[in-house]
Amino acid sequence: MSLLLAILLDLGSTAAPYKDYAAAIELNHQYDRQGRHIFDQVIFWDRNPATGRFVVKAWIMCEFERYPLKCPDDLYHVRWTAEGVRRDVCSPLYRESWGQLDPEREDKKTWPEERRSGLAGPRKSAEPTE
So where are the chain's domains?
Answer: 2-115
Report, as an integer, the average pLDDT of 98-103: 95
| Alpha-carbon gap, residue 22 to 13, rounded angstroms | 24
Residue 13 pLDDT:
54
Q: Determine the residue type at 69.
A: L
pLDDT of 47 above 70: yes
128 or 94: which leads in pLDDT: 94
pLDDT of 38 above 60: yes
Report, as an integer, the average pLDDT of 14-34: 92
Residue 67 pLDDT:
86
**How many residues make up the chain in this entry?**
130
